[in-house]
Amino acid sequence: MTATRTPLATDAQHLVKRYKTKTAVDGISLQVPAGQTFGILGSNGAGKTTTVEMIAGLRRPTQGHVRILGLDPFADRAKVRQVLGVQLQQATLHDALTVRELVDLYRSFYPKPLDADQALTMVELQEKAKTKFSNLSGGQMQRLSIALALIGQPEVVILDELTTGLDPKARRRVWSTIESLEDQTVILISHAMDEVERLCDRVALIDAGKIIAQGTPDQLKAQAGVPTLEDAFVELTGKDLHDDQEED
């Protein structure tokens, strides 16, 4: 009997990104099975944001290729937009629109979006529906960008620094939202160890534009011979996760 393989939600092969004399990403390959939550972990400047921007079709690789559910994010851009949701660390939204207007705008992009009230309740912004985006706090902007990434019920979701700027209570509520995405594939970029360990089935450690280790959180801890994921990161990279480096 032939074993049934889980289809790949994301297949990135030999990604390279160069800027003149600088190589930001140096031959990264990632395969994420459908339905998995996959973490990309690295310190600032490691190349993780550049990597996911190439996966999302927001930045063209110097070398290598990407497929999202078998689709090329550049050649099949319109189709990819229907199956991929993206929340970036720096949200760029129209300042003059209200929260509800932004939600309604994004709902119009998809054939079967979430209900607007459901989307706002999911990130606890229902009381801010009439508030202009420019008047939201940083944490509220972050929560809105998460809702907008999920509103089209995409099959694949990329979340960059998911809970940056959120208080502990809000972080746990957002984690519960992500844990409820049973049928969706999530690619989570983070430097928060507790977040990665709680949410991710598998993790890739990136340093200097390369993957240096990949596996479940428990496998990475065993490989490094240490009790915590943060210790594993330090052991395997030789760096502290919060080392001050250039941005990705």
Mean of all residue pLDDT scores within the chain: 90
Q: Which residue ranges form the domains of the chain, and what is each CATH number? A: 8-235 (3.40.50.300)
Which pLDDT band, with edges at 50, 70 and 90, does 90 fall under?
low
Region 172-197 average pLDDT? 90
Model pTM? 0.91
The per-residue pLDDT for 173 is: 86
Share of the chain above pLDDT 90, in %: 71
- pLDDT exceeds cutoff 70 at 91: no
Assign 3-class secondary structure to the chain: CCCCCCCEEEEEEEEEEEECCEEEEEEEEEEEECCCEEEEECCCCCCHHHHHHHHCCCCCCCEEEEEECCECCCCCHHHHHHHEEEECCCCCCCCCCEHHHHHHHHHCCCCCCCCHHHHHHHCCCHHHCCCEHHHCCHHHHHHHHHHHHHCCCCCEEEEECCCCCCCHHHHHHHHHHHHCCCCCEEEEEECCHHHHHHHCCEEEEEECCEEEEEECHHHHHHHHCCCCHHHHHHHHHCCCCCCCCCCC
